[in-house]
Structure 1
Protein backbone atom coordinates (compact mmCIF):
# COMPACT_ATOMS: atom_id res chain seq x y z
CA UNK A 1 0.00 0.00 0.00
CA UNK A 2 2.73 2.43 0.98
CA UNK A 3 4.76 1.54 -2.11
CA UNK A 4 1.78 2.21 -4.36
CA UNK A 5 1.13 5.52 -2.62
CA UNK A 6 4.74 6.62 -3.06
CA UNK A 7 4.68 5.52 -6.69
CA UNK A 8 1.54 7.54 -7.37
CA UNK A 9 3.07 10.53 -5.58
CA UNK A 10 6.23 10.33 -7.66
CA UNK A 11 4.33 9.97 -10.95
CA UNK A 12 2.10 12.88 -9.94
CA UNK A 13 5.12 15.08 -9.23
CA UNK A 14 6.65 14.17 -12.60
CA UNK A 15 3.38 14.87 -14.39
CA UNK A 16 2.94 18.14 -12.52
CA UNK A 17 6.51 19.15 -13.34
CA UNK A 18 5.77 18.73 -17.02
CA UNK A 19 2.56 20.76 -16.74
CA UNK A 20 4.50 23.52 -15.01
CA UNK A 21 7.20 23.61 -17.65
CA UNK A 22 4.61 24.13 -20.39
CA UNK A 23 2.34 26.45 -18.38
CA UNK A 24 4.90 28.83 -16.89
CA UNK A 25 5.15 30.72 -20.18
CA UNK A 26 1.38 31.22 -20.12
CA UNK A 27 1.69 32.57 -16.59
CA UNK A 28 4.22 35.12 -17.84
CA UNK A 29 2.10 36.31 -20.77
CA UNK A 30 -1.12 36.47 -18.75
CA UNK A 31 0.30 37.91 -15.55
CA UNK A 32 3.10 40.16 -16.75
CA UNK A 33 1.95 41.08 -20.25
CA UNK A 34 -1.82 40.96 -19.52
CA UNK A 35 -2.53 38.90 -22.63
CA UNK A 36 -4.85 35.89 -22.62
CA UNK A 37 -3.06 33.53 -24.99
CA UNK A 38 -5.15 30.41 -25.51
CA UNK A 39 -2.79 29.40 -28.33
CA UNK A 40 -0.02 28.65 -25.84
CA UNK A 41 -0.49 24.91 -26.31
CA UNK A 42 0.20 25.33 -30.04
CA UNK A 43 3.78 26.38 -29.21
CA UNK A 44 4.15 23.25 -27.08
CA UNK A 45 2.86 21.16 -29.97
CA UNK A 46 5.35 22.88 -32.29
CA UNK A 47 8.20 21.88 -30.00
CA UNK A 48 6.96 18.30 -29.93
CA UNK A 49 6.76 18.04 -33.70
CA UNK A 50 10.19 19.67 -34.03
CA UNK A 51 11.62 16.87 -31.87
CA UNK A 52 9.84 14.19 -33.90
CA UNK A 53 10.99 15.59 -37.26
CA UNK A 54 14.59 16.08 -36.12
CA UNK A 55 14.77 12.54 -34.75
CA UNK A 56 12.97 10.72 -37.54
CA UNK A 57 14.23 12.65 -40.57
CA UNK A 58 17.52 14.18 -39.47
CA UNK A 59 18.60 11.30 -37.23
CA UNK A 60 19.38 13.55 -34.27
CA UNK A 61 19.49 12.10 -30.73
CA UNK A 62 16.61 12.98 -28.45
CA UNK A 63 18.57 15.24 -26.09
CA UNK A 64 19.96 17.30 -28.95
CA UNK A 65 16.48 17.97 -30.31
CA UNK A 66 15.28 19.56 -27.05
CA UNK A 67 17.23 22.86 -27.30
CA UNK A 68 16.28 23.02 -30.97
CA UNK A 69 12.61 22.55 -30.04
CA UNK A 70 12.99 25.43 -27.59
CA UNK A 71 14.62 27.58 -30.28
CA UNK A 72 11.97 26.75 -32.91
CA UNK A 73 9.05 27.64 -30.64
CA UNK A 74 10.82 30.75 -29.36
CA UNK A 75 11.53 31.94 -32.92
CA UNK A 76 7.93 31.42 -34.03
CA UNK A 77 6.69 33.10 -30.86
CA UNK A 78 8.99 36.07 -31.49
CA UNK A 79 7.74 36.51 -35.06
CA UNK A 80 4.07 36.15 -34.13
CA UNK A 81 4.45 38.60 -31.25
CA UNK A 82 6.03 41.16 -33.58
CA UNK A 83 3.46 40.74 -36.34
CA UNK A 84 0.17 39.74 -34.66
CA UNK A 85 0.07 39.65 -30.87
CA UNK A 86 1.41 43.17 -30.42
CA UNK A 87 -1.61 44.60 -32.20
CA UNK A 88 -3.91 43.22 -29.50
CA UNK A 89 -2.09 44.15 -26.28
CA UNK A 90 -4.56 46.93 -25.56
CA UNK A 91 -7.56 45.16 -27.06
CA UNK A 92 -10.40 43.77 -24.90
CA UNK A 93 -9.77 40.33 -23.49
CA UNK A 94 -12.55 38.89 -25.63
CA UNK A 95 -10.65 39.94 -28.77
CA UNK A 96 -7.51 38.30 -27.41
CA UNK A 97 -9.39 35.08 -26.69
CA UNK A 98 -11.00 34.97 -30.14
CA UNK A 99 -7.70 35.66 -31.87
CA UNK A 100 -5.70 33.08 -29.92
CA UNK A 101 -8.35 30.36 -30.17
CA UNK A 102 -8.49 30.99 -33.92
CA UNK A 103 -4.71 30.63 -34.06
CA UNK A 104 -5.07 27.34 -32.18
CA UNK A 105 -7.53 25.96 -34.73
CA UNK A 106 -5.16 27.00 -37.54
CA UNK A 107 -2.30 25.18 -35.80
CA UNK A 108 -4.43 22.04 -35.40
CA UNK A 109 -5.39 22.11 -39.08
CA UNK A 110 -1.80 22.72 -40.17
CA UNK A 111 -0.44 19.87 -38.04
CA UNK A 112 -3.12 17.52 -39.34
CA UNK A 113 -2.28 18.40 -42.93
CA UNK A 114 1.49 18.01 -42.45
CA UNK A 115 1.70 15.04 -40.09
CA UNK A 116 -1.68 13.34 -40.19
CA UNK A 117 -4.10 12.75 -37.31
CA UNK A 118 -2.21 9.91 -35.60
CA UNK A 119 -0.08 9.93 -32.46
CA UNK A 120 3.61 10.56 -33.02
CA UNK A 121 6.13 8.12 -31.50
CA UNK A 122 9.33 9.12 -29.74
CA UNK A 123 12.48 6.99 -29.44
CA UNK A 124 13.98 7.65 -26.04
CA UNK A 125 17.62 6.79 -25.48
CA UNK A 126 18.23 3.52 -23.66
CA UNK A 127 19.50 5.22 -20.51
CA UNK A 128 16.15 7.04 -20.12
CA UNK A 129 14.11 3.85 -20.31
CA UNK A 130 13.19 1.46 -17.56
CA UNK A 131 13.37 2.10 -13.84
CA UNK A 132 15.91 2.95 -11.20
CA UNK A 133 15.87 2.36 -7.47
CA UNK A 134 15.47 5.57 -5.45
CA UNK A 135 15.48 5.14 -1.66
CA UNK A 136 14.16 1.63 -2.08
CA UNK A 137 11.42 2.66 -4.51
CA UNK A 138 11.51 1.71 -8.19
CA UNK A 139 10.76 4.85 -10.20
CA UNK A 140 10.69 5.58 -13.91
CA UNK A 141 14.02 6.88 -15.19
CA UNK A 142 12.41 9.28 -17.64
CA UNK A 143 10.09 10.76 -15.01
CA UNK A 144 13.08 11.30 -12.71
CA UNK A 145 14.78 13.04 -15.63
CA UNK A 146 11.73 15.29 -16.09
CA UNK A 147 11.80 16.36 -12.45
CA UNK A 148 15.51 17.18 -12.70
CA UNK A 149 14.96 19.28 -15.84
CA UNK A 150 12.16 21.24 -14.19
CA UNK A 151 14.27 21.93 -11.09
CA UNK A 152 17.03 23.38 -13.29
CA UNK A 153 14.60 25.42 -15.40
CA UNK A 154 12.78 26.78 -12.34
CA UNK A 155 15.99 27.93 -10.68
CA UNK A 156 17.25 29.49 -13.92
CA UNK A 157 13.96 31.25 -14.60
CA UNK A 158 13.72 32.56 -11.06
CA UNK A 159 17.25 33.91 -11.30
CA UNK A 160 16.49 35.52 -14.67
CA UNK A 161 13.35 37.30 -13.46
CA UNK A 162 14.55 38.32 -10.01
CA UNK A 163 18.31 38.80 -10.29
CA UNK A 164 19.21 40.01 -13.77
CA UNK A 165 18.99 43.31 -15.60
CA UNK A 166 16.60 41.81 -18.14
CA UNK A 167 14.32 40.62 -15.35
CA UNK A 168 14.29 44.12 -13.87
CA UNK A 169 13.40 45.50 -17.30
CA UNK A 170 10.50 43.05 -17.56
CA UNK A 171 9.11 44.06 -14.17
CA UNK A 172 9.56 47.76 -14.90
CA UNK A 173 7.93 47.50 -18.33
CA UNK A 174 4.93 45.72 -16.86
CA UNK A 175 4.47 48.17 -14.00
CA UNK A 176 4.71 51.33 -16.13
CA UNK A 177 5.52 51.22 -19.84
CA UNK A 178 5.80 54.99 -20.28
CA UNK A 179 8.16 55.46 -17.35
CA UNK A 180 10.27 52.50 -18.51
CA UNK A 181 10.54 53.92 -22.02
CA UNK A 182 11.54 57.26 -20.50
CA UNK A 183 14.37 55.51 -18.66
CA UNK A 184 15.71 54.13 -21.94
CA UNK A 185 14.19 50.64 -21.82
CA UNK A 186 13.08 49.30 -25.18
CA UNK A 187 9.69 48.06 -23.99
CA UNK A 188 8.71 46.50 -27.33
CA UNK A 189 11.92 44.47 -27.44
CA UNK A 190 11.50 43.37 -23.81
CA UNK A 191 7.96 42.15 -24.51
CA UNK A 192 9.06 40.35 -27.68
CA UNK A 193 11.88 38.54 -25.88
CA UNK A 194 9.62 37.70 -22.93
CA UNK A 195 6.98 36.23 -25.22
CA UNK A 196 9.66 34.28 -27.08
CA UNK A 197 10.97 32.91 -23.77
CA UNK A 198 7.52 31.73 -22.74
CA UNK A 199 6.93 30.16 -26.15
CA UNK A 200 10.31 28.46 -26.05
CA UNK A 201 9.61 26.93 -22.64
CA UNK A 202 6.31 25.63 -23.98
CA UNK A 203 8.17 24.08 -26.93
CA UNK A 204 10.69 22.48 -24.58
CA UNK A 205 7.85 21.07 -22.50
CA UNK A 206 6.12 19.80 -25.63
CA UNK A 207 9.25 17.93 -26.68
CA UNK A 208 9.76 16.46 -23.24
CA UNK A 209 6.09 15.54 -22.96
CA UNK A 210 5.76 13.36 -26.07
CA UNK A 211 6.34 10.18 -24.09
CA UNK A 212 4.02 11.25 -21.23
CA UNK A 213 1.28 13.40 -22.76
CA UNK A 214 1.43 12.07 -26.30
CA UNK A 215 1.53 14.20 -29.45
CA UNK A 216 -1.18 14.61 -32.07
CA UNK A 217 -2.74 17.60 -33.86
CA UNK A 218 -5.41 18.16 -31.18
CA UNK A 219 -2.78 18.51 -28.43
CA UNK A 220 -3.37 22.29 -27.96
CA UNK A 221 -7.09 21.76 -27.42
CA UNK A 222 -6.77 18.57 -25.37
CA UNK A 223 -4.53 20.17 -22.74
CA UNK A 224 -5.65 23.81 -22.97
CA UNK A 225 -7.77 23.51 -19.82
CA UNK A 226 -4.90 21.92 -17.88
CA UNK A 227 -2.56 24.80 -18.69
CA UNK A 228 -5.21 27.35 -17.73
CA UNK A 229 -5.87 25.49 -14.48
CA UNK A 230 -2.23 25.69 -13.49
CA UNK A 231 -2.12 29.44 -14.08
CA UNK A 232 -5.52 30.15 -12.51
CA UNK A 233 -4.85 28.13 -9.37
CA UNK A 234 -1.21 29.21 -9.01
CA UNK A 235 -1.70 32.86 -9.86
CA UNK A 236 -0.70 34.54 -13.09
CA UNK A 237 2.53 36.49 -13.17
CA UNK A 238 4.43 34.32 -10.69
CA UNK A 239 6.76 31.34 -10.96
CA UNK A 240 6.32 29.71 -7.57
CA UNK A 241 2.51 29.82 -7.75
CA UNK A 242 2.13 27.81 -10.98
CA UNK A 243 4.86 25.42 -9.78
CA UNK A 244 2.98 24.65 -6.57
CA UNK A 245 -0.34 24.48 -8.42
CA UNK A 246 1.05 22.16 -11.12
CA UNK A 247 2.48 19.77 -8.54
CA UNK A 248 -0.77 19.70 -6.55
CA UNK A 249 -2.91 19.20 -9.65
CA UNK A 250 -0.52 16.61 -11.06
CA UNK A 251 -0.55 14.51 -7.89
CA UNK A 252 -4.34 14.69 -7.50
CA UNK A 253 -4.93 13.95 -11.19
CA UNK A 254 -2.73 10.85 -11.14
CA UNK A 255 -4.13 9.73 -7.76
CA UNK A 256 -7.71 10.23 -8.93
CA UNK A 257 -7.19 8.21 -12.11
CA UNK A 258 -5.40 5.47 -10.14
CA UNK A 259 -7.67 5.12 -7.10
CA UNK A 260 -11.05 6.22 -8.49
CA UNK A 261 -10.81 5.71 -12.28
CA UNK A 262 -14.59 6.12 -12.68
CA UNK A 263 -14.40 9.81 -11.73
CA UNK A 264 -10.64 10.35 -11.83
CA UNK A 265 -10.75 12.87 -14.66
CA UNK A 266 -12.98 15.17 -12.59
CA UNK A 267 -10.89 15.18 -9.41
CA UNK A 268 -8.73 18.14 -10.42
CA UNK A 269 -11.79 20.18 -11.39
CA UNK A 270 -13.27 19.72 -7.94
CA UNK A 271 -9.91 20.56 -6.42
CA UNK A 272 -9.71 23.68 -8.60
CA UNK A 273 -13.09 24.90 -7.33
CA UNK A 274 -12.02 24.44 -3.71
CA UNK A 275 -8.66 26.16 -4.20
CA UNK A 276 -10.15 29.12 -6.07
CA UNK A 277 -12.77 29.58 -3.35
CA UNK A 278 -10.01 29.66 -0.75
CA UNK A 279 -7.56 31.65 -2.92
CA UNK A 280 -9.55 33.74 -5.45
CA UNK A 281 -6.36 35.36 -6.85
CA UNK A 282 -4.45 32.10 -6.97
CA UNK A 283 -2.12 30.53 -4.45
CA UNK A 284 0.54 33.20 -4.91
CA UNK A 285 -1.26 35.61 -7.23
CA UNK A 286 -1.26 39.35 -6.85
CA UNK A 287 -3.93 40.56 -4.47
CA UNK A 288 -5.88 43.64 -5.47
Structure 2
Protein backbone atom coordinates (compact mmCIF):
# COMPACT_ATOMS: atom_id res chain seq x y z
CA UNK A 1 0.00 0.00 0.00
CA UNK A 2 1.37 3.41 -1.00
CA UNK A 3 2.07 5.69 1.97
CA UNK A 4 2.66 9.44 2.32
CA UNK A 5 4.27 10.49 5.62
CA UNK A 6 3.07 7.24 7.14
CA UNK A 7 -0.54 7.71 5.95
CA UNK A 8 -2.15 5.46 3.31
CA UNK A 9 -2.82 7.36 0.08
CA UNK A 10 -6.44 6.13 0.02
CA UNK A 11 -7.10 7.59 3.47
CA UNK A 12 -5.43 10.87 2.48
CA UNK A 13 -7.42 11.26 -0.74
CA UNK A 14 -10.62 10.27 1.03
CA UNK A 15 -10.19 12.97 3.68
CA UNK A 16 -9.30 15.53 1.02
CA UNK A 17 -12.58 14.77 -0.71
CA UNK A 18 -14.48 15.06 2.57
CA UNK A 19 -12.70 18.37 3.15
CA UNK A 20 -13.77 19.55 -0.29
CA UNK A 21 -17.40 18.75 0.57
CA UNK A 22 -17.15 20.73 3.83
CA UNK A 23 -15.38 23.50 1.93
CA UNK A 24 -18.34 23.69 -0.45
CA UNK A 25 -20.58 24.72 2.45
CA UNK A 26 -17.92 27.06 3.86
CA UNK A 27 -17.54 28.81 0.51
CA UNK A 28 -21.25 29.12 -0.21
CA UNK A 29 -22.12 30.39 3.27
CA UNK A 30 -19.20 32.80 3.52
CA UNK A 31 -20.04 34.11 0.04
CA UNK A 32 -23.47 35.23 1.26
CA UNK A 33 -21.89 36.90 4.29
CA UNK A 34 -19.31 38.64 2.10
CA UNK A 35 -21.97 39.93 -0.30
CA UNK A 36 -23.96 41.45 2.57
CA UNK A 37 -20.97 42.95 4.37
CA UNK A 38 -19.06 44.03 1.28
CA UNK A 39 -22.01 45.85 -0.29
CA UNK A 40 -24.09 46.83 2.77
CA UNK A 41 -21.53 46.96 5.62
CA UNK A 42 -23.79 44.82 7.82
CA UNK A 43 -22.30 41.98 9.89
CA UNK A 44 -25.12 39.47 9.42
CA UNK A 45 -24.93 37.15 12.43
CA UNK A 46 -28.35 35.73 11.47
CA UNK A 47 -26.76 34.00 8.46
CA UNK A 48 -26.71 30.64 10.26
CA UNK A 49 -30.41 31.03 11.08
CA UNK A 50 -31.19 31.73 7.40
CA UNK A 51 -29.25 28.55 6.52
CA UNK A 52 -31.51 26.71 8.96
CA UNK A 53 -34.61 28.36 7.47
CA UNK A 54 -33.60 27.12 4.02
CA UNK A 55 -33.43 23.54 5.28
CA UNK A 56 -36.75 23.87 7.11
CA UNK A 57 -38.39 25.47 4.09
CA UNK A 58 -37.37 22.44 2.00
CA UNK A 59 -38.70 20.07 4.67
CA UNK A 60 -42.00 21.95 5.01
CA UNK A 61 -42.50 22.16 1.24
CA UNK A 62 -42.17 18.37 1.11
CA UNK A 63 -44.20 17.57 4.24
CA UNK A 64 -47.03 20.07 3.69
CA UNK A 65 -47.22 20.55 -0.09
CA UNK A 66 -45.53 17.47 -1.50
CA UNK A 67 -42.92 19.57 -3.33
CA UNK A 68 -39.73 17.53 -3.68
CA UNK A 69 -36.06 18.40 -3.52
CA UNK A 70 -35.66 20.00 -6.95
CA UNK A 71 -38.63 22.28 -6.46
CA UNK A 72 -37.41 23.17 -2.98
CA UNK A 73 -33.96 24.00 -4.35
CA UNK A 74 -35.61 26.86 -6.26
CA UNK A 75 -38.52 27.81 -3.99
CA UNK A 76 -36.84 27.68 -0.56
CA UNK A 77 -34.14 30.29 -1.37
CA UNK A 78 -36.83 32.53 -2.91
CA UNK A 79 -39.07 32.24 0.17
CA UNK A 80 -36.25 32.87 2.63
CA UNK A 81 -34.83 35.61 0.42
CA UNK A 82 -38.22 37.38 0.47
CA UNK A 83 -38.23 37.06 4.25
CA UNK A 84 -34.78 38.67 4.26
CA UNK A 85 -36.10 41.52 2.10
CA UNK A 86 -38.88 42.16 4.62
CA UNK A 87 -36.31 42.26 7.43
CA UNK A 88 -34.14 44.65 5.44
CA UNK A 89 -37.00 47.05 4.78
CA UNK A 90 -38.32 47.01 8.35
CA UNK A 91 -35.20 46.64 10.52
CA UNK A 92 -31.82 46.41 8.79
CA UNK A 93 -32.26 49.62 6.76
CA UNK A 94 -32.28 51.69 9.94
CA UNK A 95 -28.71 50.66 10.77
CA UNK A 96 -26.72 51.56 7.65
CA UNK A 97 -25.41 54.83 9.05
CA UNK A 98 -24.64 53.40 12.50
CA UNK A 99 -21.66 51.50 13.87
CA UNK A 100 -21.24 47.86 12.75
CA UNK A 101 -21.90 46.75 16.34
CA UNK A 102 -25.60 47.66 16.04
CA UNK A 103 -26.04 45.43 13.00
CA UNK A 104 -24.22 42.58 14.76
CA UNK A 105 -26.42 42.88 17.85
CA UNK A 106 -29.66 43.08 15.86
CA UNK A 107 -28.89 40.10 13.63
CA UNK A 108 -27.63 38.10 16.64
CA UNK A 109 -30.96 38.76 18.33
CA UNK A 110 -32.84 37.72 15.19
CA UNK A 111 -30.87 34.46 15.07
CA UNK A 112 -31.79 33.65 18.68
CA UNK A 113 -35.47 34.45 18.07
CA UNK A 114 -35.67 32.25 14.96
CA UNK A 115 -33.83 29.36 16.62
CA UNK A 116 -36.05 29.64 19.69
CA UNK A 117 -39.28 29.67 17.69
CA UNK A 118 -38.33 26.63 15.61
CA UNK A 119 -36.98 24.77 18.65
CA UNK A 120 -40.28 25.34 20.45
CA UNK A 121 -42.29 24.10 17.46
CA UNK A 122 -40.14 21.23 16.17
CA UNK A 123 -37.76 20.35 19.01
CA UNK A 124 -34.00 20.01 18.66
CA UNK A 125 -33.56 16.33 17.78
CA UNK A 126 -33.79 17.02 14.04
CA UNK A 127 -36.00 15.86 11.19
CA UNK A 128 -34.95 13.55 8.32
CA UNK A 129 -34.98 14.70 4.71
CA UNK A 130 -34.51 12.04 2.04
CA UNK A 131 -31.92 12.26 -0.72
CA UNK A 132 -33.69 12.67 -4.11
CA UNK A 133 -33.97 9.44 -6.06
CA UNK A 134 -31.84 10.79 -8.93
CA UNK A 135 -28.88 11.32 -6.61
CA UNK A 136 -29.05 8.14 -4.58
CA UNK A 137 -26.27 5.62 -4.95
CA UNK A 138 -22.53 6.07 -5.23
CA UNK A 139 -19.60 5.93 -7.63
CA UNK A 140 -16.36 4.06 -6.99
CA UNK A 141 -13.41 6.42 -7.42
CA UNK A 142 -10.82 3.74 -6.67
CA UNK A 143 -9.62 5.28 -3.41
CA UNK A 144 -13.14 5.67 -1.98
CA UNK A 145 -16.81 5.25 -2.78
CA UNK A 146 -18.31 8.72 -3.28
CA UNK A 147 -22.06 9.13 -2.69
CA UNK A 148 -23.56 10.86 -5.71
CA UNK A 149 -25.29 13.44 -3.56
CA UNK A 150 -22.05 14.67 -2.03
CA UNK A 151 -20.55 15.03 -5.48
CA UNK A 152 -23.60 17.06 -6.49
CA UNK A 153 -23.07 19.37 -3.48
CA UNK A 154 -19.52 20.16 -4.66
CA UNK A 155 -20.64 20.88 -8.23
CA UNK A 156 -23.65 22.99 -7.20
CA UNK A 157 -21.56 25.03 -4.79
CA UNK A 158 -18.85 25.69 -7.38
CA UNK A 159 -21.37 26.76 -10.02
CA UNK A 160 -23.24 29.14 -7.69
CA UNK A 161 -20.05 30.61 -6.20
CA UNK A 162 -18.38 31.25 -9.55
CA UNK A 163 -21.63 32.54 -11.06
CA UNK A 164 -22.06 35.02 -8.21
CA UNK A 165 -18.46 36.18 -8.53
CA UNK A 166 -18.88 36.68 -12.29
CA UNK A 167 -22.07 38.72 -11.85
CA UNK A 168 -20.64 40.97 -9.14
CA UNK A 169 -17.20 41.47 -10.68
CA UNK A 170 -17.78 41.26 -14.43
CA UNK A 171 -21.20 42.77 -15.17
CA UNK A 172 -22.79 46.22 -15.22
CA UNK A 173 -25.11 45.20 -12.38
CA UNK A 174 -22.12 44.34 -10.20
CA UNK A 175 -20.49 47.66 -11.06
CA UNK A 176 -23.67 49.50 -10.04
CA UNK A 177 -23.78 47.63 -6.73
CA UNK A 178 -20.18 48.50 -5.92
CA UNK A 179 -20.69 52.12 -6.95
CA UNK A 180 -23.84 52.35 -4.81
CA UNK A 181 -21.81 51.17 -1.83
CA UNK A 182 -19.05 53.71 -2.38
CA UNK A 183 -21.16 56.76 -3.26
CA UNK A 184 -24.95 56.16 -3.08
CA UNK A 185 -25.83 59.84 -3.58
CA UNK A 186 -23.92 60.07 -6.86
CA UNK A 187 -25.35 56.79 -8.15
CA UNK A 188 -28.90 57.86 -7.29
CA UNK A 189 -28.39 61.07 -9.26
CA UNK A 190 -28.11 58.88 -12.39
CA UNK A 191 -31.64 57.59 -11.83
CA UNK A 192 -30.68 54.31 -10.16
CA UNK A 193 -32.92 53.27 -7.26
CA UNK A 194 -30.19 52.64 -4.67
CA UNK A 195 -32.49 51.58 -1.77
CA UNK A 196 -34.09 48.93 -3.98
CA UNK A 197 -30.68 47.75 -5.14
CA UNK A 198 -29.52 47.43 -1.55
CA UNK A 199 -32.73 45.62 -0.56
CA UNK A 200 -32.33 43.05 -3.35
CA UNK A 201 -28.67 42.57 -2.46
CA UNK A 202 -29.54 41.68 1.12
CA UNK A 203 -32.26 39.33 -0.10
CA UNK A 204 -29.77 37.64 -2.44
CA UNK A 205 -27.24 37.14 0.35
CA UNK A 206 -29.94 35.59 2.52
CA UNK A 207 -31.07 33.37 -0.39
CA UNK A 208 -27.50 32.03 -0.71
CA UNK A 209 -27.62 30.91 2.91
CA UNK A 210 -31.01 29.27 2.31
CA UNK A 211 -29.67 27.51 -0.79
CA UNK A 212 -26.88 26.08 1.37
CA UNK A 213 -29.51 24.88 3.83
CA UNK A 214 -31.41 23.02 1.12
CA UNK A 215 -28.19 21.35 -0.01
CA UNK A 216 -27.44 20.37 3.59
CA UNK A 217 -30.92 19.01 4.39
CA UNK A 218 -30.42 15.50 2.91
CA UNK A 219 -26.92 15.20 4.48
CA UNK A 220 -27.79 16.29 8.01
CA UNK A 221 -30.95 16.19 10.08
CA UNK A 222 -33.00 19.38 9.71
CA UNK A 223 -32.65 21.02 13.11
CA UNK A 224 -33.20 24.53 14.54
CA UNK A 225 -29.62 24.50 15.82
CA UNK A 226 -27.95 23.30 12.61
CA UNK A 227 -26.62 26.78 11.80
CA UNK A 228 -25.55 27.75 15.32
CA UNK A 229 -22.14 26.04 15.27
CA UNK A 230 -21.53 26.51 11.56
CA UNK A 231 -21.85 30.31 11.70
CA UNK A 232 -18.78 30.61 13.96
CA UNK A 233 -16.66 28.72 11.43
CA UNK A 234 -18.11 30.78 8.57
CA UNK A 235 -17.18 34.04 10.28
CA UNK A 236 -13.63 32.71 10.68
CA UNK A 237 -13.55 31.90 6.94
CA UNK A 238 -14.74 35.41 6.05
CA UNK A 239 -12.17 37.03 8.34
CA UNK A 240 -9.35 34.95 6.85
CA UNK A 241 -10.43 35.68 3.27
CA UNK A 242 -11.06 39.37 3.96
CA UNK A 243 -14.33 40.94 5.09
CA UNK A 244 -16.37 41.73 2.02
CA UNK A 245 -14.07 39.98 -0.46
CA UNK A 246 -16.13 37.83 -2.83
CA UNK A 247 -13.18 35.97 -4.35
CA UNK A 248 -11.57 35.66 -0.91
CA UNK A 249 -14.63 33.93 0.51
CA UNK A 250 -14.75 31.38 -2.30
CA UNK A 251 -11.05 30.54 -2.38
CA UNK A 252 -10.67 30.54 1.40
CA UNK A 253 -13.81 28.45 1.96
CA UNK A 254 -12.68 25.60 -0.30
CA UNK A 255 -9.04 25.86 0.85
CA UNK A 256 -9.89 25.70 4.55
CA UNK A 257 -12.12 22.69 3.94
CA UNK A 258 -9.14 20.91 2.36
CA UNK A 259 -6.80 21.99 5.18
CA UNK A 260 -9.31 20.71 7.73
CA UNK A 261 -9.40 17.38 5.89
CA UNK A 262 -5.59 17.12 5.90
CA UNK A 263 -5.52 17.91 9.61
CA UNK A 264 -7.91 15.02 10.29
CA UNK A 265 -5.38 12.72 8.65
CA UNK A 266 -2.14 13.93 10.19
CA UNK A 267 -3.27 15.31 13.57
CA UNK A 268 -6.98 14.64 14.26
CA UNK A 269 -7.15 16.42 17.66
CA UNK A 270 -6.46 19.76 15.92
CA UNK A 271 -9.09 19.36 13.17
CA UNK A 272 -11.77 21.27 15.09
CA UNK A 273 -9.48 24.23 15.87
CA UNK A 274 -7.16 24.52 12.87
CA UNK A 275 -9.37 27.12 11.14
CA UNK A 276 -9.33 29.34 14.21
CA UNK A 277 -5.56 28.98 14.58
CA UNK A 278 -5.17 30.08 10.96
CA UNK A 279 -7.53 33.01 11.63
CA UNK A 280 -5.41 34.15 14.58
CA UNK A 281 -2.22 33.98 12.51
CA UNK A 282 -3.79 35.87 9.59
CA UNK A 283 -5.10 38.60 11.90
CA UNK A 284 -1.60 39.05 13.33
CA UNK A 285 0.16 39.15 9.97
CA UNK A 286 -2.49 40.68 7.69
CA UNK A 287 -5.44 42.11 9.67
CA UNK A 288 -7.49 42.92 6.54
CA UNK A 289 -7.45 39.24 5.50
CA UNK A 290 -5.70 37.43 2.67
CA UNK A 291 -7.80 39.05 -0.07
CA UNK A 292 -9.00 42.12 1.80
CA UNK A 293 -8.14 45.65 0.78
CA UNK A 294 -6.03 47.90 2.96
CA UNK A 295 -8.15 50.77 4.28
TM-score category (smaller protein): over 0.9
Question: How far off is 1:149 after superposition?
Answer: 0.5
Question: How far off is 1:214 after superposition?
Answer: 4.1
Distance in 2 (CA, whole Å) between partners of 1:272 and 1:213 is 27
Question: How far off is 1:218 after superposition?
Answer: 1.9
Superposed CA RMSD: 1.8
Partner of 1:140: 147
Distance in 2 (CA, whole Å) between partners of 1:170 and 1:213 is 35
Note the residue ranges of structure 1 that are not aligned, 5 or more in a row: none
Distance in 1 (CA, whole Å) between partners of 2:59 and 2:25 is 18
Partner of 1:195: 202
Distance in 1 (CA, whole Å) between partners of 2:30 and 2:21 is 14
Question: How far off is 1:25 after superposition?
Answer: 1.1
Q: TM-score, normalised by structure 2?
A: 0.91
Question: How far off is 1:200 after superposition?
Answer: 0.5
Give yes or no for the alignment of 1:83 onto 2:90: yes
Pairs within 5 Å for 1:168-179: 168-179=175-186
Relative to structure 1, is the Cα distance of residues 175 and 79 closer, same or farther in structure 2, using a 3 angstrom cutoff? same
Note the residue ranges of structure 2 that are not aligned, 5 or more in a row: 1-7
Give yes or no for the alignment of 1:66 onto 2:73: yes
1:105 to 103, 108, 112: 112
CA offset digits 1:83-130 (Å, max 9, x no partner): 110001111222222111111110111111222222121100233233
Pairs within 5 Å for 1:2-151: 2-134=9-141, 137-151=144-158
Q: TM-score, normalised by structure 1?
A: 0.93
Question: How far off is 1:271 after superposition?
Answer: 2.1
Relative to structure 1, is the Cα distance of residues 258 and 111 closer, same or farther in structure 2, using a 3 angstrom cutoff? farther
Distance in 2 (CA, whole Å) between partners of 1:38 and 1:136 is 39
State the SS of the aligned residue for 2:273. helix
Give yes or no for the alignment of 1:242 onto 2:243: no
Is the 1:22–1:203 Cα contact (8 Å) retained in structure 2?
no
State the SS of the aligned residue for 2:290. coil
